[in-house]
Structure 1
Amino acid sequence: MNIAMTDPDPLSRLAHQIFDDLRALSPDGAGVSRPAYSGIETQALDYLADLARDHMLAVDTDAAGNMWFSLPAHRNAESFMVIGSHVDTVPEGGNYDGLAGVVAGLLVLIRGRDRGLRIPVKCLAMRGEESAWFGSCYLGSKALTGQMTAAELAAPHKGDGRPLADHMRALGIDTAPLTAGQPLMLLDQIAGYVELHIEQGPLLIERDMPAAVVTGIRGNIRYRSVTCTGAGGHSGAVPRAYRHDPVLAMADLLTRLDDSWLHILQTGGDLVLTSGIVGTDPARHAITRIADNVSFSLDIRSQSTEVLDHMRAYLHEEMADIARVRGVSFDTGPEIPAAPALMDDAMVAGLMEAMGRTGIAPFSMASGAGHDAAVFAQAGVPAAMIFVRNRNGSHNPREAMEIADFMVGTRIISEYLEATDT
């Protein structure tokens, strides 16, 4: 696996090789699947471990099954920077979501082995970031930082129904330290956490930018299934004044939320809002029938806790008003919240300066999706992120990151770390 460093662009060639090899190790339909806490995920980690050893890096595994890479001289460092991300994917997903951040960390270490790093740096390859398998996300980073809950350990797998703890034990992971809810290491050892990730939206493509520094990760308020209940009836026989139509009530609510979204953006706020699941019961409802209920999801995201609190209150106020006017009722079910995570100001500034030194005009943006970086930030670890341009979104086989853009993001991190004293 070792590529001679006499090649004019050896790290770029190595990146191609790693991505190609891991794609070949985890094919599934149109894309790749590396399920969280599975044998396939373990094979991917073992591949990375073999490659790291070939490049004279030290390899360690923590109590949650996450893998650590470092220069041998830094293996037992008392304080160090971390470059990390995850190796699992969604079912039939893309090859770059998560993996790109781990590969970037390995390349930084290999480059640092030859050029010299002024501070100890470790690369962290985490398990279980995607929620697709057990219904909860950031499992590897939550376990590491002591934020994993008993409910998450008991969460059933989407396929076989066995709890996460069983899947962990089947891989030789002792779940007792995780049940205790204590960090698996002294978190103040981590001087900072940096994560490279493909952008999952179109901003860098539209701006023709290869990379960006992330300023914050949006928090969210989620409702998996809001139900609006009214009264069924014949579509031709019930006049408007006598209708209690839940579909129109839902449409009214979504329109009001959309108007509020626009106002918040026009006044300088940050917000995105999505209802990705909408439907009546096709077995009971028909084109000639007024539905008696409709269900829909809501996903409200912002970098601002104040905006999220405002939208929560506004949502309930508008539901109450629409329920009174239209004679319907709303039931949101349980709220699933996640707090926003701001990136560390000093790290953001340092990465922006490093971006300029690579010859790229410094550019920053917010992340709409969640990442392990948010878990570290919420645990009190200074955190920052780099986004790399990527076409066609993520969580699908059409992820289209260019290696040249990936190398720009990797160089930004190297430049930042090589200029960092502490």
Structure 2
Amino acid sequence: MRDLHSEEAALAALAAEVFDGIRALSPDARGVSRPAFSAVETATLHWLAEFARRNGLHVSQDAGRNLVFCLPQDADAERWVLIGSHVDSVPMGGNYDGLAGVVAGLIVLIRAARTGARFCRPVKCLAMRGEESAWFGACYLGSKMLTGLLPPAELAATHKGDARPLSAHLGDLGIDTAPLSEGRPITDLSRIEAYLELHIEQGPLLVERGLPAAVVSGIRGNFRHREVRCIGQAGHSGAVPRAYRHDPVLAFAELMHRLDDTWDHLLRTGRDLVLTSGIVGTDPAGHAISRIPDSLGFSLDIRSQEVEVLDRMRAYLRAQMDDIARSRGVRFETGPEVAVAPALMDPAITRGLEAAMRARFGDAFTMASGGGHDAAIFAQAGIPSGMVFVRNRNGSHNPDEAMELEDFMVGTAVLSAYLEGNS
């Protein structure tokens, strides 16, 4: 009889090897930084490729310079189930956001190779580039490229560091941007039967409930403005009475107060919404303690699982900006909007993952995802998709992500059970 406990311990040790190895490749002043489409991201993929080959997996590269792993016997499969996630991170972020999903796919494949388990359908693991919006202002770039859902404006989006467009960075990697400019997929979507993704939870629900993992039912959509500018009029802080001020700081504060009140109302009436302004500031070249600033810049990120709520908030935002502009003598310039529609996970896959979780661990918990994921893009491209969350303390997009390896192994076991038991 196989010693299942020792096999799982050996697999957990392999997972730890990957997490530690990739962390050592991408340190920053705090946490890790793996910029999208960068040399660090490429080095991460090279490390993963060597690890996969050492552990008996077949490795290939797709047209987006992502890596694809599988069992050697499935290298030439006509169709397959894809397990995937991204390897880039936010600046000074945590090591598990994205990477955990790639490592999960690798562990699922290595587990099958070592135990002799058979998947009901061929399985491949995808290590993707470019999911985080921190670098080019738009998210899911890698999966949008694969599925033909990359808008022209995002192909032209500029990098926060060097101000070069995404297309130039892709060209540096030898990626053909012609199909992207035409909105065509750069992979054959008809060969992907389903897409699965494991991800750390980015909120506190699993921690508060004392649960190691959960099945995800759906992913919030969002609309974002990378930089909104509120334009007012500069003046002396002591010399301009309130009635004559055109103060962009107070206009911004009033806008956020109104948005917060509406957020509270929607939650009280059973609707779904979250909103954030994560970047706020006056111009450091001209601001001063004794000066009314002439402008203020800020970002907006508004999310919901409900298309109707997103549409209502888009209209409400514009109406409140117009009203505040009139009353305070300022103007708002929103710049371009970046939007992603909400995505429901495939009901059949969700039920299958729930059944796998119950079979392995006696119970199953299902929840919605507040953060966005590549799974949303594959779902919008018509590929049946499903997700598993793993418990993680301290949120994500920060160096203090705290996923326990034991919980991670629960998530990978759920994926393995589903793939071995569902045709």
Q: Secondary structure at the match of 2:37?
A: coil
Q: Deviation per CA, 1:70-127: give whole Å up to 9, x if none.
A: 1222222222211001112233322211111011001111222321112111111111
Deviates more, 1:381-390 or 1:40-49: 40-49
Q: Give the equivalent residue in structure 2 for 1:226.
A: 228
Q: Give the equivalent residue in structure 2 for 1:386.
A: 388
Is 1:400 matched up with 2:402? yes
1:321 and 1:154 map into 2 onto residues whose CA distance is: 33
- 1:65 to 1:348, Cα distance in 2 relative to 1, 3 A: same
2:155 and 2:248 map into 1 onto residues whose CA distance is: 38
Deviates more, 1:215-224 or 1:31-40: 31-40
- 1:359 to 1:244, Cα distance in 2 relative to 1, 3 A: same
1:89 and 1:286 map into 2 onto residues whose CA distance is: 34
Once the two structures are TM-superposed, the CA of residue 6 in structure 1 deviates from its matched residue by: 5.8
Give the counterpart letter for 2:45 in structure 1: L
Give the counterpart letter for 1:84 in structure 2: G
Once the two structures are TM-superposed, the CA of residue 187 in structure 1 deviates from its matched residue by: 1.1
Once the two structures are TM-superposed, the CA of residue 349 in structure 1 deviates from its matched residue by: 1.8
Give the counterpart letter for 1:405 in structure 2: D
Q: Secondary structure at the match of 1:220?
A: strand
Unpaired runs of 5+ residues, structure 1, are none
One of 366, 382, 385 as aligned partner of 2:368: 366
Q: Give the equivalent residue in structure 1 for 2:83.
A: 83
1:150 and 1:135 map into 2 onto residues whose CA distance is: 14
TM-score by length of 1: 0.90
Once the two structures are TM-superposed, the CA of residue 67 in structure 1 deviates from its matched residue by: 1.1
TM-score by length of 2: 0.90
Contact residue 86 and residue 131 of structure 2 kept, 8 A: yes
- 1:307 to 1:360, Cα distance in 2 relative to 1, 3 A: farther
Q: Give the equivalent residue in structure 2 for 1:38.
A: 38
Alignment of 1:78-157 (within 5 A): 78-113=78-113, 114-157=116-159
Contact residue 235 and residue 290 of structure 1 kept, 8 A: yes
Count of residue pairs brought into register by the alignment: 418
Q: Secondary structure at the match of 2:361?
A: coil
Q: Secondary structure at the match of 2:417?
A: helix
Q: Give the equivalent residue in structure 1 for 2:12.
A: 12
Deviates more, 1:233-242 or 1:73-82: 233-242
Give the counterpart letter for 1:13 in structure 2: A
Give the counterpart letter for 1:107 in structure 2: I
- 1:332 to 1:148, Cα distance in 2 relative to 1, 3 A: closer
- 1:290 to 1:28, Cα distance in 2 relative to 1, 3 A: closer
Q: Give the equivalent residue in structure 1 for 2:189.
A: 187
Give the counterpart letter for 1:400 in structure 2: A
One of 168, 171, 182 as aligned partner of 2:170: 168
- 1:189 to 1:198, Cα distance in 2 relative to 1, 3 A: same
Q: Give the equivalent residue in structure 2 for 1:61.
A: 61
Give the counterpart letter for 1:48 in structure 2: L
Q: Give the equivalent residue in structure 2 for 1:306.
A: 308
- 1:300 to 1:360, Cα distance in 2 relative to 1, 3 A: farther
Once the two structures are TM-superposed, the CA of residue 307 in structure 1 deviates from its matched residue by: 0.1
Deviates more, 1:34-43 or 1:280-289: 280-289
Q: Deviation per CA, 1:220-267: give whole Å up to 9, x if none.
A: 122233333445555555554554444333322222211111111111
- 1:111 to 1:255, Cα distance in 2 relative to 1, 3 A: same
Alignment of 1:403-414 (within 5 A): 403-414=405-416
Alignment of 1:218-297 (within 5 A): 218-236=220-238, 238-281=240-283, 283-297=285-299
Give the counterpart letter for 1:76 in structure 2: D
2:228 and 2:187 map into 1 onto residues whose CA distance is: 40
Contact residue 64 and residue 178 of structure 1 kept, 8 A: no
Q: Give the equivalent residue in structure 2 for 1:340.
A: 342
- 1:5 to 1:26, Cα distance in 2 relative to 1, 3 A: farther
One of 190, 196, 199 as aligned partner of 2:198: 196
Q: Secondary structure at the match of 1:37?
A: coil
- 1:273 to 1:409, Cα distance in 2 relative to 1, 3 A: same
Give the counterpart letter for 2:404 in structure 1: E
- 1:94 to 1:188, Cα distance in 2 relative to 1, 3 A: same
Contact residue 346 and residue 384 of structure 2 kept, 8 A: yes
- 1:367 to 1:233, Cα distance in 2 relative to 1, 3 A: same
- Across the aligned residues of Structure 1 and Structure 2, the Cα RMSD in angstroms comes to 2.6
Once the two structures are TM-superposed, the CA of residue 146 in structure 1 deviates from its matched residue by: 2.0
Give the counterpart letter for 1:197 in structure 2: H
- 1:281 to 1:157, Cα distance in 2 relative to 1, 3 A: closer
Give the counterpart letter for 1:87 in structure 2: V
2:284 and 2:159 map into 1 onto residues whose CA distance is: 28
Deviates more, 1:236-245 or 1:80-89: 236-245
Once the two structures are TM-superposed, the CA of residue 290 in structure 1 deviates from its matched residue by: 4.3
1:340 and 1:58 map into 2 onto residues whose CA distance is: 34
2:185 and 2:228 map into 1 onto residues whose CA distance is: 36
Give the counterpart letter for 1:100 in structure 2: A
- 1:360 to 1:315, Cα distance in 2 relative to 1, 3 A: farther
Once the two structures are TM-superposed, the CA of residue 138 in structure 1 deviates from its matched residue by: 2.0
Deviates more, 1:404-413 or 1:172-181: 172-181
Once the two structures are TM-superposed, the CA of residue 65 in structure 1 deviates from its matched residue by: 0.9
Q: Give the equivalent residue in structure 2 for 1:357.
A: 359
- 1:323 to 1:354, Cα distance in 2 relative to 1, 3 A: same
1:324 and 1:151 map into 2 onto residues whose CA distance is: 31
2:391 and 2:30 map into 1 onto residues whose CA distance is: 22
